Structure 1
Amino acid sequence: MFFITQSDERPDGYVHLSTANAWTMWLSRNIPVGLHADVRHRLNSNLKHLLVGLELKAALIDPHAHRTHNQPSLLFEPYFQNLIMEFGLAAFSVLEGLGSGHWLDQNNLDGGNAMRIERDAWRAALCAVYDPDGEHGLDGDVVRTLALRDLLHQDRLGARANIDWHAMTYEAAFEPASRAVRTLLRREAGVVPAATNLNVEQ
Protein backbone atom coordinates (compact mmCIF):
# COMPACT_ATOMS: atom_id res chain seq x y z
CA MET A 1 0.00 0.00 0.00
CA PHE A 2 1.26 3.50 -0.84
CA PHE A 3 0.74 6.13 1.85
CA ILE A 4 0.94 9.89 1.96
CA THR A 5 3.23 10.48 4.94
CA GLN A 6 4.46 13.30 7.09
CA SER A 7 7.94 14.54 6.20
CA ASP A 8 9.44 13.42 9.50
CA GLU A 9 8.44 9.83 8.68
CA ARG A 10 10.70 9.95 5.64
CA PRO A 11 13.63 12.19 6.64
CA ASP A 12 15.77 11.07 3.70
CA GLY A 13 13.35 12.71 1.26
CA TYR A 14 12.12 10.83 -1.79
CA VAL A 15 13.47 8.51 -4.43
CA HIS A 16 13.35 9.29 -8.13
CA LEU A 17 14.70 7.72 -11.30
CA SER A 18 14.87 10.74 -13.57
CA THR A 19 14.82 14.49 -13.09
CA ALA A 20 13.28 17.33 -15.04
CA ASN A 21 16.62 18.12 -16.66
CA ALA A 22 16.83 14.58 -18.04
CA TRP A 23 14.08 15.60 -20.48
CA THR A 24 15.92 18.64 -21.84
CA MET A 25 17.57 16.82 -24.75
CA TRP A 26 14.36 15.17 -25.95
CA LEU A 27 12.47 18.44 -25.70
CA SER A 28 15.20 20.32 -27.57
CA ARG A 29 14.68 17.92 -30.47
CA ASN A 30 10.88 18.28 -30.37
CA ILE A 31 10.26 21.95 -29.68
CA PRO A 32 10.66 23.72 -33.05
CA VAL A 33 13.80 25.83 -33.25
CA GLY A 34 11.93 28.56 -35.15
CA LEU A 35 9.95 29.59 -32.08
CA HIS A 36 10.84 32.76 -30.21
CA ALA A 37 13.62 32.06 -27.71
CA ASP A 38 11.43 33.03 -24.75
CA VAL A 39 8.64 30.74 -25.97
CA ARG A 40 11.06 27.84 -26.41
CA HIS A 41 12.48 28.41 -22.93
CA ARG A 42 9.06 28.54 -21.25
CA LEU A 43 7.75 25.53 -23.16
CA ASN A 44 10.84 23.48 -22.30
CA SER A 45 10.60 24.42 -18.62
CA ASN A 46 6.88 23.67 -18.40
CA LEU A 47 7.00 20.37 -20.25
CA LYS A 48 10.05 18.87 -18.54
CA HIS A 49 8.37 19.28 -15.14
CA LEU A 50 5.09 17.89 -16.45
CA LEU A 51 6.87 14.83 -17.88
CA VAL A 52 8.56 14.04 -14.55
CA GLY A 53 5.18 14.40 -12.85
CA LEU A 54 3.68 11.96 -15.36
CA GLU A 55 6.38 9.44 -14.46
CA LEU A 56 5.44 9.57 -10.79
CA LYS A 57 1.72 9.23 -11.48
CA ALA A 58 2.26 6.29 -13.86
CA ALA A 59 4.44 4.59 -11.24
CA LEU A 60 1.54 4.73 -8.77
CA ILE A 61 -1.32 4.02 -11.19
CA ASP A 62 0.09 0.96 -12.99
CA PRO A 63 0.87 -1.28 -10.00
CA HIS A 64 -2.63 -0.68 -8.65
CA ALA A 65 -4.28 -1.41 -12.00
CA HIS A 66 -2.23 -4.54 -12.67
CA ARG A 67 -2.33 -6.15 -9.25
CA THR A 68 -3.49 -9.76 -9.23
CA HIS A 69 -6.97 -10.73 -8.09
CA ASN A 70 -5.85 -11.72 -4.60
CA GLN A 71 -3.52 -8.75 -4.06
CA PRO A 72 -4.73 -5.95 -1.82
CA SER A 73 -5.32 -2.47 -3.19
CA LEU A 74 -2.24 -0.32 -3.48
CA LEU A 75 -4.14 2.96 -3.53
CA PHE A 76 -7.27 4.13 -1.77
CA GLU A 77 -9.77 4.20 -4.65
CA PRO A 78 -10.30 7.99 -4.82
CA TYR A 79 -6.51 8.42 -5.03
CA PHE A 80 -6.45 6.08 -8.01
CA GLN A 81 -9.09 8.01 -9.91
CA ASN A 82 -7.69 11.38 -8.95
CA LEU A 83 -4.22 10.31 -10.14
CA ILE A 84 -5.74 9.18 -13.45
CA MET A 85 -7.44 12.56 -13.81
CA GLU A 86 -4.18 14.35 -12.99
CA PHE A 87 -2.24 12.17 -15.43
CA GLY A 88 -4.74 13.07 -18.15
CA LEU A 89 -4.55 16.78 -17.37
CA ALA A 90 -0.75 16.80 -17.44
CA ALA A 91 -0.70 14.70 -20.63
CA PHE A 92 -3.16 17.16 -22.18
CA SER A 93 -0.80 20.01 -21.36
CA VAL A 94 2.15 18.22 -22.99
CA LEU A 95 0.07 17.44 -26.10
CA GLU A 96 -1.21 21.01 -26.32
CA GLY A 97 2.22 22.52 -25.76
CA LEU A 98 3.99 20.50 -28.44
CA GLY A 99 1.03 20.71 -30.82
CA SER A 100 0.88 24.48 -30.47
CA GLY A 101 4.61 24.78 -31.00
CA HIS A 102 4.45 22.74 -34.19
CA TRP A 103 1.40 24.65 -35.47
CA LEU A 104 3.28 27.93 -35.02
CA ASP A 105 6.31 26.50 -36.81
CA GLN A 106 4.21 25.11 -39.67
CA ASN A 107 2.68 28.57 -40.14
CA ASN A 108 5.99 30.46 -39.97
CA LEU A 109 5.12 32.07 -36.65
CA ASP A 110 7.29 32.23 -33.55
CA GLY A 111 4.64 32.60 -30.83
CA GLY A 112 6.09 35.87 -29.60
CA ASN A 113 2.77 37.69 -29.96
CA ALA A 114 1.03 35.27 -27.56
CA MET A 115 -1.74 34.38 -29.98
CA ARG A 116 -4.21 31.70 -28.91
CA ILE A 117 -4.12 28.53 -31.00
CA GLU A 118 -7.40 26.68 -31.44
CA ARG A 119 -7.67 23.10 -30.28
CA ASP A 120 -8.38 21.62 -33.72
CA ALA A 121 -5.40 23.50 -35.16
CA TRP A 122 -2.79 22.27 -32.67
CA ARG A 123 -4.28 18.76 -32.68
CA ALA A 124 -3.85 18.46 -36.44
CA ALA A 125 -0.32 19.86 -36.25
CA LEU A 126 0.61 17.41 -33.50
CA CYS A 127 -0.67 14.42 -35.48
CA ALA A 128 1.07 15.61 -38.65
CA VAL A 129 4.42 15.47 -36.86
CA TYR A 130 4.04 12.47 -34.53
CA ASP A 131 1.61 10.16 -36.36
CA PRO A 132 1.25 11.38 -39.97
CA ASP A 133 -0.11 8.06 -41.26
CA GLY A 134 -2.41 7.43 -38.29
CA GLU A 135 -0.53 4.20 -37.56
CA HIS A 136 -0.54 4.69 -33.80
CA GLY A 137 -4.03 6.15 -33.36
CA LEU A 138 -2.71 9.38 -31.91
CA ASP A 139 -5.65 11.51 -32.98
CA GLY A 140 -8.19 9.26 -31.28
CA ASP A 141 -6.11 9.13 -28.11
CA VAL A 142 -5.80 12.92 -28.10
CA VAL A 143 -9.58 13.27 -28.52
CA ARG A 144 -10.20 10.94 -25.55
CA THR A 145 -7.63 12.80 -23.44
CA LEU A 146 -9.31 16.11 -24.29
CA ALA A 147 -12.66 14.68 -23.18
CA LEU A 148 -11.13 13.72 -19.83
CA ARG A 149 -9.62 17.16 -19.47
CA ASP A 150 -13.05 18.73 -20.01
CA LEU A 151 -14.42 16.84 -16.98
CA LEU A 152 -12.42 19.28 -14.87
CA HIS A 153 -15.29 21.73 -15.34
CA GLN A 154 -18.16 21.38 -12.86
CA ASP A 155 -20.38 24.22 -14.09
CA ARG A 156 -22.96 22.19 -16.10
CA LEU A 157 -23.47 19.03 -14.08
CA GLY A 158 -27.10 18.69 -15.17
CA ALA A 159 -25.91 18.05 -18.73
CA ARG A 160 -23.94 14.93 -17.76
CA ALA A 161 -25.33 11.44 -18.06
CA ASN A 162 -23.36 10.08 -15.10
CA ILE A 163 -20.87 10.96 -12.40
CA ASP A 164 -17.33 11.72 -13.51
CA TRP A 165 -15.74 8.72 -11.78
CA HIS A 166 -17.25 6.37 -14.36
CA ALA A 167 -15.18 8.12 -17.04
CA MET A 168 -11.93 8.07 -15.05
CA THR A 169 -11.15 4.39 -15.28
CA TYR A 170 -7.77 2.94 -16.22
CA GLU A 171 -9.06 1.71 -19.58
CA ALA A 172 -11.15 4.75 -20.55
CA ALA A 173 -8.91 7.53 -19.29
CA PHE A 174 -5.37 6.46 -18.39
CA GLU A 175 -4.66 4.19 -21.35
CA PRO A 176 -5.48 6.74 -24.11
CA ALA A 177 -3.43 9.47 -22.42
CA SER A 178 -0.55 7.09 -21.81
CA ARG A 179 -0.62 5.84 -25.41
CA ALA A 180 -0.63 9.41 -26.71
CA VAL A 181 2.49 10.21 -24.69
CA ARG A 182 4.19 6.99 -25.87
CA THR A 183 3.47 7.97 -29.47
CA LEU A 184 5.20 11.32 -28.93
CA LEU A 185 8.21 9.53 -27.47
CA ARG A 186 8.67 7.45 -30.64
CA ARG A 187 10.05 10.60 -32.25
CA GLU A 188 13.71 11.12 -31.30
CA ALA A 189 13.42 7.94 -29.22
CA GLY A 190 17.20 7.74 -28.90
CA VAL A 191 17.30 10.71 -26.53
CA VAL A 192 14.32 9.77 -24.35
CA PRO A 193 15.60 9.42 -20.75
CA ALA A 194 16.70 5.83 -20.24
CA ALA A 195 15.02 5.55 -16.84
CA THR A 196 11.59 6.77 -17.86
CA ASN A 197 8.51 4.60 -17.53
CA LEU A 198 6.47 6.68 -19.97
CA ASN A 199 7.54 4.73 -23.07
CA VAL A 200 6.76 1.32 -21.55
CA GLU A 201 3.67 -0.34 -22.97
CA GLN A 202 1.49 -1.59 -20.13
Structure 2
Amino acid sequence: MAAFRSSLVISTLKRQSLQVRKISTARPLLGAWHTDWKPSAVPRNQKEHEEAAKKYGLPPEDYHPLPEDIRHGDYPDMPNIGEYQKDSYHNWDDPYRKRNWGEPVPINMDIIHADRVDPARRYRFSQWKMWSAFLFVYFGTVLAFFYDSMYPDVWFIKMMKKQYPYQEFDKNKYYYKGRYPPPNPQRNVHYTFEPAE
Protein backbone atom coordinates (compact mmCIF):
# COMPACT_ATOMS: atom_id res chain seq x y z
CA MET A 1 0.00 0.00 0.00
CA ALA A 2 2.83 2.39 0.87
CA ALA A 3 4.54 1.69 -2.46
CA PHE A 4 1.31 2.41 -4.34
CA ARG A 5 0.83 5.66 -2.44
CA SER A 6 4.43 6.82 -3.11
CA SER A 7 4.13 5.98 -6.84
CA LEU A 8 0.84 7.91 -6.97
CA VAL A 9 2.47 10.94 -5.30
CA ILE A 10 5.44 10.80 -7.69
CA SER A 11 3.23 10.58 -10.78
CA THR A 12 1.12 13.51 -9.53
CA LEU A 13 4.22 15.61 -8.90
CA LYS A 14 5.59 14.78 -12.35
CA ARG A 15 2.32 15.77 -13.99
CA GLN A 16 2.24 19.07 -12.11
CA SER A 17 5.91 19.94 -12.68
CA LEU A 18 6.03 19.13 -16.39
CA GLN A 19 3.90 21.69 -18.15
CA VAL A 20 2.91 20.77 -21.65
CA ARG A 21 3.56 23.52 -24.20
CA LYS A 22 1.99 23.72 -27.62
CA ILE A 23 4.75 24.28 -30.16
CA SER A 24 3.74 26.10 -33.29
CA THR A 25 4.13 24.49 -36.71
CA ALA A 26 4.56 27.78 -38.56
CA ARG A 27 6.85 27.84 -41.59
CA PRO A 28 10.01 28.99 -39.72
CA LEU A 29 9.84 25.83 -37.60
CA LEU A 30 9.65 23.52 -40.59
CA GLY A 31 12.97 24.61 -42.12
CA ALA A 32 15.20 21.69 -42.99
CA TRP A 33 18.30 23.51 -44.21
CA HIS A 34 19.85 26.95 -43.76
CA THR A 35 18.57 28.09 -47.15
CA ASP A 36 15.02 27.53 -45.86
CA TRP A 37 15.67 30.15 -43.17
CA LYS A 38 17.10 32.71 -45.60
CA PRO A 39 15.03 35.93 -45.86
CA SER A 40 13.19 36.63 -49.10
CA ALA A 41 13.10 39.92 -51.00
CA VAL A 42 11.61 43.01 -49.41
CA PRO A 43 7.79 42.97 -49.81
CA ARG A 44 6.56 45.43 -52.44
CA ASN A 45 2.76 45.10 -52.18
CA GLN A 46 0.13 44.24 -49.57
CA LYS A 47 -0.01 40.54 -50.48
CA GLU A 48 3.76 40.08 -50.11
CA HIS A 49 3.58 42.05 -46.86
CA GLU A 50 0.96 39.67 -45.43
CA GLU A 51 2.89 36.59 -46.62
CA ALA A 52 6.09 37.85 -44.97
CA ALA A 53 4.20 38.57 -41.73
CA LYS A 54 2.77 35.04 -41.76
CA LYS A 55 6.22 33.60 -42.51
CA TYR A 56 7.64 35.17 -39.34
CA GLY A 57 4.57 34.47 -37.21
CA LEU A 58 3.61 38.13 -36.76
CA PRO A 59 0.30 39.91 -37.32
CA PRO A 60 0.41 42.05 -40.49
CA GLU A 61 -0.03 45.29 -38.54
CA ASP A 62 3.03 44.49 -36.36
CA TYR A 63 5.26 43.43 -39.24
CA HIS A 64 7.71 46.06 -40.51
CA PRO A 65 10.66 44.95 -42.66
CA LEU A 66 14.15 46.27 -42.07
CA PRO A 67 15.26 49.20 -44.26
CA GLU A 68 16.52 48.19 -47.69
CA ASP A 69 19.97 49.71 -47.16
CA ILE A 70 20.65 47.12 -44.43
CA ARG A 71 20.09 44.35 -47.02
CA HIS A 72 18.45 41.73 -44.84
CA GLY A 73 15.50 41.12 -47.12
CA ASP A 74 12.09 40.73 -45.55
CA TYR A 75 13.38 40.10 -42.03
CA PRO A 76 11.21 42.00 -39.53
CA ASP A 77 12.46 45.07 -37.70
CA MET A 78 12.15 43.80 -34.13
CA PRO A 79 12.58 46.11 -31.12
CA ASN A 80 15.80 45.80 -29.13
CA ILE A 81 14.46 44.20 -25.98
CA GLY A 82 17.19 42.89 -23.69
CA GLU A 83 16.86 39.79 -21.56
CA TYR A 84 16.65 41.80 -18.34
CA GLN A 85 13.48 43.48 -19.62
CA LYS A 86 11.67 40.17 -20.12
CA ASP A 87 9.66 38.39 -17.44
CA SER A 88 11.76 35.86 -15.52
CA TYR A 89 8.70 33.90 -14.38
CA HIS A 90 7.23 33.35 -17.82
CA ASN A 91 7.29 29.77 -19.11
CA TRP A 92 9.93 30.26 -21.84
CA ASP A 93 11.02 27.49 -24.18
CA ASP A 94 14.60 28.64 -23.55
CA PRO A 95 14.62 30.05 -20.01
CA TYR A 96 18.30 30.95 -20.15
CA ARG A 97 17.82 33.29 -23.13
CA LYS A 98 14.15 34.06 -22.30
CA ARG A 99 13.01 33.10 -25.80
CA ASN A 100 10.31 30.96 -27.31
CA TRP A 101 10.95 28.55 -30.16
CA GLY A 102 10.69 30.18 -33.58
CA GLU A 103 10.42 33.69 -32.16
CA PRO A 104 11.99 36.30 -34.45
CA VAL A 105 14.81 38.19 -32.74
CA PRO A 106 16.40 41.58 -33.39
CA ILE A 107 19.07 41.64 -36.07
CA ASN A 108 21.73 42.50 -33.46
CA MET A 109 20.68 39.85 -30.95
CA ASP A 110 24.31 38.76 -30.51
CA ILE A 111 25.10 41.97 -28.60
CA ILE A 112 22.03 42.25 -26.36
CA HIS A 113 22.36 38.98 -24.44
CA ALA A 114 22.19 39.06 -20.65
CA ASP A 115 25.99 38.95 -20.39
CA ARG A 116 26.44 41.86 -22.81
CA VAL A 117 24.64 45.16 -23.51
CA ASP A 118 21.08 45.85 -22.45
CA PRO A 119 19.63 48.89 -24.26
CA ALA A 120 17.20 49.78 -21.46
CA ARG A 121 19.56 49.28 -18.54
CA ARG A 122 19.76 52.26 -16.20
CA TYR A 123 23.13 52.53 -14.48
CA ARG A 124 23.55 53.83 -10.97
CA PHE A 125 26.06 56.45 -12.13
CA SER A 126 26.20 58.41 -15.36
CA GLN A 127 28.80 57.68 -18.04
CA TRP A 128 30.92 60.74 -17.26
CA LYS A 129 31.05 59.86 -13.55
CA MET A 130 32.16 56.30 -14.34
CA TRP A 131 34.82 57.54 -16.78
CA SER A 132 36.09 60.19 -14.37
CA ALA A 133 36.39 57.62 -11.55
CA PHE A 134 38.23 55.21 -13.85
CA LEU A 135 40.65 57.90 -15.11
CA PHE A 136 41.24 59.16 -11.56
CA VAL A 137 42.23 55.68 -10.36
CA TYR A 138 44.28 54.95 -13.50
CA PHE A 139 46.30 58.18 -13.53
CA GLY A 140 46.62 58.09 -9.74
CA THR A 141 48.24 54.66 -10.05
CA VAL A 142 50.54 55.87 -12.83
CA LEU A 143 51.62 58.92 -10.80
CA ALA A 144 52.22 56.75 -7.73
CA PHE A 145 54.38 54.43 -9.84
CA PHE A 146 56.49 57.32 -11.18
CA TYR A 147 56.80 58.87 -7.73
CA ASP A 148 57.90 55.50 -6.41
CA SER A 149 60.57 55.15 -9.10
CA MET A 150 61.86 58.72 -8.60
CA TYR A 151 62.16 58.49 -4.80
CA PRO A 152 62.92 54.88 -3.87
CA ASP A 153 64.26 55.88 -0.44
CA VAL A 154 60.74 56.76 0.67
CA TRP A 155 59.42 53.22 0.24
CA PHE A 156 62.40 50.89 0.69
CA ILE A 157 64.92 50.20 3.44
CA LYS A 158 68.19 52.01 2.87
CA MET A 159 70.96 49.59 1.92
CA MET A 160 74.56 49.88 0.82
CA LYS A 161 75.57 49.38 -2.77
CA LYS A 162 76.00 45.73 -3.72
CA GLN A 163 79.60 44.56 -3.31
CA TYR A 164 81.03 42.49 -6.16
CA PRO A 165 84.24 40.44 -5.87
CA TYR A 166 85.74 41.77 -9.13
CA GLN A 167 85.89 45.25 -10.61
CA GLU A 168 84.55 44.03 -13.96
CA PHE A 169 81.30 43.10 -12.29
CA ASP A 170 80.93 46.66 -11.04
CA LYS A 171 80.98 47.94 -14.64
CA ASN A 172 78.61 45.43 -16.17
CA LYS A 173 77.33 42.63 -13.97
CA TYR A 174 75.50 40.82 -16.78
CA TYR A 175 78.34 40.88 -19.33
CA TYR A 176 80.17 37.73 -18.30
CA LYS A 177 77.10 35.47 -18.19
CA GLY A 178 78.32 33.15 -15.50
CA ARG A 179 82.05 33.09 -16.39
CA TYR A 180 83.77 33.14 -13.05
CA PRO A 181 86.32 34.62 -12.52
CA PRO A 182 86.29 37.11 -15.40
CA PRO A 183 89.32 37.57 -17.65
CA ASN A 184 92.02 39.85 -16.20
CA PRO A 185 90.52 39.71 -12.73
CA GLN A 186 91.12 42.63 -10.38
CA ARG A 187 89.75 41.92 -6.98
CA ASN A 188 87.80 44.47 -5.03
CA VAL A 189 88.89 44.78 -1.41
CA HIS A 190 85.92 45.40 0.85
CA TYR A 191 87.74 44.82 4.16
CA THR A 192 91.13 45.19 5.82
CA PHE A 193 92.99 43.39 8.60
CA GLU A 194 94.77 46.56 9.69
CA PRO A 195 93.70 47.96 13.02
CA ALA A 196 91.62 51.12 12.98
CA GLU A 197 93.59 54.27 13.90
TM-score relative to the length of structure 2: 0.22
Whose radius of gyration is greater, 1 or 2?
2
Compare relative contact order (CA 8 Å, sep 6+) and give the higher one, 1 or 2: 1
Query: Larger % of helix: which?
Result: 1
TM-score under structure 1 normalisation?
0.22
